[in-house]
Structure 1
Amino acid sequence: MRLILLLSLLSITLCSNAAVYRWVDENGKVHYSDEPQPNAELVEVKQNTQNTIELREAKIKSPIAPELDAAMETTITIISPTHEETIRSNEGKFDVTVSVAPKLLRGMFLALFIDGEIKAQPQTSTTFHLEGIYRGEHAIVVKALDQNGKVLASSSPRTIYLHQANLVKRPTPRAG
């Protein structure tokens, strides 16, 4: 059985070294074949012929790519209130101002998050006017979002303290 397999492999190897013939037809078109044709000449094929192609790394350029690169470099800084600032407002009103560098690109919006929850609708303005915020410690973060809500850049968290005065009427002692 092994002998038959060996002989069949040898015969395939010998057949694979077929010759290549080249000829030109009456219209001047060049043809190649492994079967001899009239007026065909034998083409010598080198065993070490290798076709190699070197591929360079392709860079895909799209009209959005420069904007995405700029968005990745965008930095957002909360200017006011300052870190660990105490804000005194009985109505829970205060403004948050941010700086965006280099600048806010078209299609980008700023969203204000307080304690992880969005507190202002995404906007292009760098000043947020807030009201109705309860007293206590709060973490503020401003994020740049694209039209689909994907976060492109984010500020560092800023801790603030909101103080609301509380007037408690104490009962007056009655005489008598």
Structure 2
Amino acid sequence: MARLWLLIALCIVCAQAYADKKVYRWKDQNGNWVYSDTPRKGAKEVKINTNFLTMPATDTSVLTSSQSPSGQAYKAAIIAPNHKQTLRDNTGSVYVSGQITPRFAKDFTVQLYLNGKPTGPKQHTVTFALRNVPRGEHSLQLMVFNGKNEIVTKSDETIFYLHKASVNN
């Protein structure tokens, strides 16, 4: 059934492209509908109403920015964990997600800082997995760098608290 609708949609698109041509349909030996611009014996002409095929214009200005990436005002934010959130993980694993707006430029890199120290090398994604984080209060901050290794923007500090089960329990 899905193939039938795909075929119908393809025929409609073809019909719109060749508005002066006619489209015919017939059943093949397997009982499937066949659409073509060439009539066959037993084929019937399909009347196509192209008024329903018009689509409103779409604003594509975001795809062609006249402003260079370095001229834009970028913002970085840590979206997980939340500010002042308490996390409970006995292994000390903390998963951090960030967000860069507007769209992350191709040559940008991001580095995560835990308590003012980098957690690893710069990377091209804004998701991080930290391991063996000790219990207590910690701060996180994202820094975004351009291709020249200059800081483009940095996030506000996010504070989180990591709880672990006590060794005595």
TM-score (norm. length: structure 1): 0.55
> How far does the alpha carbon of each residue in 1:35-82 deviate from its partner, in whole angstroms, 9 at most, with x for none?
xxxxxxxxxxxxxxxxxxxxxxxxxxxxxx812112xx1111111100
Question: Shift of the alpha carbon at 1:147?
Answer: 3.7
In our comparison, the structure showing a higher alpha carbon Rg is 1
> 1:68, 1:88 → 2: CA distance?
39
Distance 2:91 2:122 in 1: 23
1:4-44: per-residue Cα shift (whole Å, max 9, x none)? xxxxxxxxxxxxxxxxxxxxxxxxxxxxxxxxxxxxxxxxx
1:110-149 deviations in Å (ceiling 9; x for gaps)? 1000111001321111211111111111110001012443
Q: Which runs of 5+ in 1 are unaligned?
A: 1-64, 170-176
Matched residue, 1:133: 133
Where does 1:26-175 land on structure 2 (aligned, <5 Å)? 66-70=68-72, 73-168=73-168
The secondary structure found in structure 2 opposite 1:123 is: coil
Please list the CA deviations of residues 148-169 of structure 1 after superposition, one character each: whole Å capped at 9, or x if unmatched: 4321100010000011111316
- AA partner of residue 98 (structure 2): V
Q: Distance in 2 between matches of 1:107 and 1:75?
A: 16
Return closer, same or farther for 1:148/1:164 CA change in 2, 3 Å cut-off. Answer: farther
Q: How many pairs does the alignment contain?
A: 103
Counterparts of 1:129 and 1:136, CA distance in 2: 18
Kept in 2, the 8 Å contact 1:120–1:128? The answer is: no
Q: C-alpha separation between the residues in 2 aligned to 1:152 and 1:105?
A: 11
- Identity across the alignment (%): 24
Contact 1:136 1:163 in 2 (8 A): yes
What SS does the aligned partner of 1:68 have? Answer: helix
CA distance in 2, matches of 1:79, 1:121: 20
TM normalised by structure 2 equals 0.57
Amino acid across the alignment from 2:69: E
- Secondary structure, aligned partner of 2:91: coil
Which AA in structure 1 matches 2:140?
I
Amino acid at match of 1:102: P
